[in-house]
Structure 1
């Protein structure tokens, strides 16, 4: 006795394509939105303004956000380099583990980073 149906053709992985969980679609939607997010062009600062912010950041241990002059292939600015200045040399500074040359800095601003203990609301 042959129990196999010779007419049935298994579509393989294609039959599971419609079974996405809501978490999967939410993550996909978030990634799509992030790809379409554009960083606005910030005001070009002169070297004296940049040096002033860098010096104050080092002296007072303040966090900064730096917009780099470079743009991607679509002409959009990359995400800001964010963090504390941890060192430097005659060519630039190190923000956390990222080297930023002085001639790459378009804009630099002080920011306040939230502590992880203040991110969750327990109300």
Structure 2
């Protein structure tokens, strides 16, 4: 008799809304935040300046940050950072990624903070 007084109504999609994972929501928010960041261009270096910095990085085992001369959605791509692990006649390998010499806009040495210098 209670079924006649209160018939069951399926809430369809509404009943599944609680199953969205918080990780998914956080990932979507992070991607939205990253798209909002606009990376400004650094000074365009000459081939000689780029070569000099890369040579010193190889000889003295220094980390570098490479900005590519490539714009996507009115923003430069994030720097490719790491150690120079190899090179050939067309490009270099930085942090495991291959970068052609003609794509490089800027190269600079990158300092890594020691754990003892980090603040909470």
Structure 1 equivalent of residue 30 of structure 2: 30
Aligned length in residues: 120
- Say whether residues 1:44 and 2:41 are aligned partners: no
Distance 1:24 1:94, change over 3 A: closer
TM-score, normalised on structure 2? Answer: 0.79
Q: Which has the larger share of strand? A: 2
After TM superposition, the structure 1 stretch with the greater mean CA deviation from structure 2, 74-83 or 50-59, is 74-83
Distance 1:69 1:5, change over 3 A: farther
After TM superposition, the structure 1 stretch with the greater mean CA deviation from structure 2, 23-32 or 82-91, is 23-32
Distance 1:102 1:19, change over 3 A: same
Q: Which has the larger share of helix? A: 2
After TM superposition, the structure 1 stretch with the greater mean CA deviation from structure 2, 86-95 or 27-36, is 27-36
Query: Is the 2:63–2:111 Cα contact (8 Å) retained in structure 1?
Result: yes
Shift of 1:48: 0.7
TM-score, normalised on structure 1? Answer: 0.77
Instruction: Mark the runs of 5 or more structure 2 residues left unpaired by the alignment.
Output: none
